[in-house]
Structure 1
Amino acid sequence: MRRKENSTRRIWGRKSLSGMDFLTATNFPSSRDALHLHHGYTISLVEEGVLPMDFKGFKLNLKPGDFLILGPDVPHSFDFSAKDLGDCSYRTVFIKEEHLSVGLKAVLVNESSAISSFRDKAMWENYLSIQKGIEAGSKSDISVIISVSEKLLTHMPDFVLSRMPVKSPHIVTVKEYIKENFASAPSIEELANIVHISPFYLMRLFKEEVGLSPHAYINQLRINKAKEMIEKGTPLLQITYELGFTDQSHFSKTFLKITGVNPAHYELLHL
């Protein structure tokens, strides 16, 4: 059965879980067909249907009972090419790197570009139940989500399907510069001068290595920072100008394209 064109997408959280965000979604918003990254590690599962993932040509169909764990440097998208996709409901937990325990950081030290997947139906049912409990306001589920998520992340090195590391020293240098200066939205010419190559070559090499253009990568980091600022109660207008967006409309459109929700909804749901 062909999937329905309508989709719902909700990003939410709890104040007591400042290191985590949650996504609950049905079907695939059109903005998700472009390669994108997430802030920190992600743990995804499908409640119903099939979630068709594409990692720059490496494809994976996620089904109920499966876990998909991605590092923060893994560009990915949905694959819409199949003709027989029905409806799909799925969930993702976003875990910020800075909130991981010291021990877990050591386990994941080489996994930022890793794609891992494994199947464990009992653990899947438990993790799904915990997320639903947190969504409903269960305090007991809030108290265990961190430990269960960290347990899942410890499995990541054992079930790596592929890695997508950046190999070019030029791009490593440019990425580090962008991470320190994304709010100023450095131009392609500025970035090229840092590593002494042409803007054209940098554009091509960056897209090959990272999966995104430099401009798209900068916007990804700006929106990641915007989400943190929203969680702290920073007004949207202040976020707009502190992160270098032209105006609030520009900020809102960029936020919607990258997250699938507009910033006002993200602000309301993050309770």
Structure 2
Amino acid sequence: MNEPFELVYDPIQQDFLYLHRTTTYNLGSFYHRHEAYELYLFLRGNVNFYIENSCYRLAPGDLLVIHPEEMHRSFSLDEMEYERITINLQKSLLQRLSSPATHLSECFDYRPKGKGNIVHLKEAELEQFLLWTGELEEALASDAYGADIKAHCCIAQLLVLTNTIFQNTSFTPADIMPELVRATMDYIEMNLGQEITLEQLAGIFHLNSTYISRQFKKHTGLTLRAYIVDRRILFAKSLLSEGLSITEACYQSGFNDYANFIRSFTKITGISPGKFAKSKQQPGAG
């Protein structure tokens, strides 16, 4: 069955992508990933933000850091104006801006996946963050001599500020992800190499399979099948990175059809398993 893939994998072509948006509709209302790190500052609206198996009701001044491997989605609960700033950053840019003593990717990399993503900025911190994003906007809109260097300086300042805040925060956000959805995600994660069916889930949770499916789609924007395929592809990527063959990665990640694995992997990641494996064998590949 050729069910369309619902999960979006956003390619980021340039060193960084800066967006300051205000909308009154849902943009990207299902789980997705980027090929880059992301800084996300929430300014106003009525929004739930999902990262992996957690969900947070956002407050103005909430700052989130998102790793390329972390699935996430924002969901507007009404038609109130939704304003946010997002900055997507390539790993290579963070490496160039970092120094031996200051690793600017620390807030993204040095924490468990799907945990520790969010802080709430104090008034002075928010003012400083908006000062640097304002200067970044001006630099990006300018063709004056040195504008590109000014933009990179602003990015560096924002990353230093963000890392400093995350290193010193004691903020503990309230996770409002429904327990059924979280438990379903956890079960899938623990059983990626095995067959997973709606009937199994219904038996485990003692609930109607249609109810489970609808609740999962409501909170993730994805069908269970699309979610399972995505998690299997992510697992297969880790297996290929460890040096397993394409065939081994296919079957150990739960695919029982080699052709379907190749097609699914290429569709979701934008690269074939063979090319992905070769890229991981190159010197300096991370």
TM-score by length of 2: 0.49
Shift of 1:249: 2.1
Give structure 1 stretches of 5+ with no counterpart. 1-9, 12-22, 28-32, 46-54, 57-66, 78-89, 130-146
Q: Report % sequence identity.
A: 21
Larger relative contact order (C-alpha < 8 A, sep ≥ 6)? 1
Give CA deviations for 1:14-53 in whole Å, capped at 9, x if unaligned.
xxxxxxxxx65269xxxxx7833449x96237xxxxxxxx
* Aligned counterparts of 1:265 and 1:128: Cα–Cα separation in 2: 32
Q: Aligned AA for 1:213?
A: T
* Aligned counterparts of 1:166 and 1:24: Cα–Cα separation in 2: 29
Q: Aligned AA for 1:204?
A: R
Give structure 2 stretches of 5+ with no counterpart. 1-8, 18-27, 40-48, 51-62, 76-87, 95-104, 137-149
Secondary structure of 1:75's partner? strand
Q: Aligned AA for 1:43?
A: Y
1:1-271 equivalent positions in 2, closer than 5 A: 24-25=12-13, 35-38=30-33, 43-44=37-38, 69-70=65-66, 72=70, 74-75=72-73, 91-93=89-91, 100=110, 109=115, 111=117, 120=132, 125=152, 151=163, 154=166, 165-167=176-178, 169-270=179-280, 271=285
* Aligned counterparts of 1:252 and 1:156: Cα–Cα separation in 2: 44
- Partners of 2:250 and 2:256 within 8 A in 1: yes
* Aligned counterparts of 2:168 and 2:266: Cα–Cα separation in 1: 30
Distance change >3 Å, CA 96–CA 222, structure 1 → 2: farther
* Aligned counterparts of 1:70 and 1:266: Cα–Cα separation in 2: 22
- Partners of 1:43 and 1:68 within 8 A in 2: no
* Aligned counterparts of 2:206 and 2:116: Cα–Cα separation in 1: 28
Shift of 1:210: 2.5
Q: Aligned AA for 1:177?
A: Y
TM-score by length of 1: 0.51
Give CA deviations for 1:174-216 in whole Å, capped at 9, x if unaligned.
2211110022141011112111111111110011122322212
Distance change >3 Å, CA 96–CA 193, structure 1 → 2: farther
* Number of positions where the alignment pairs a residue of Structure 1 with one of Structure 2: 192
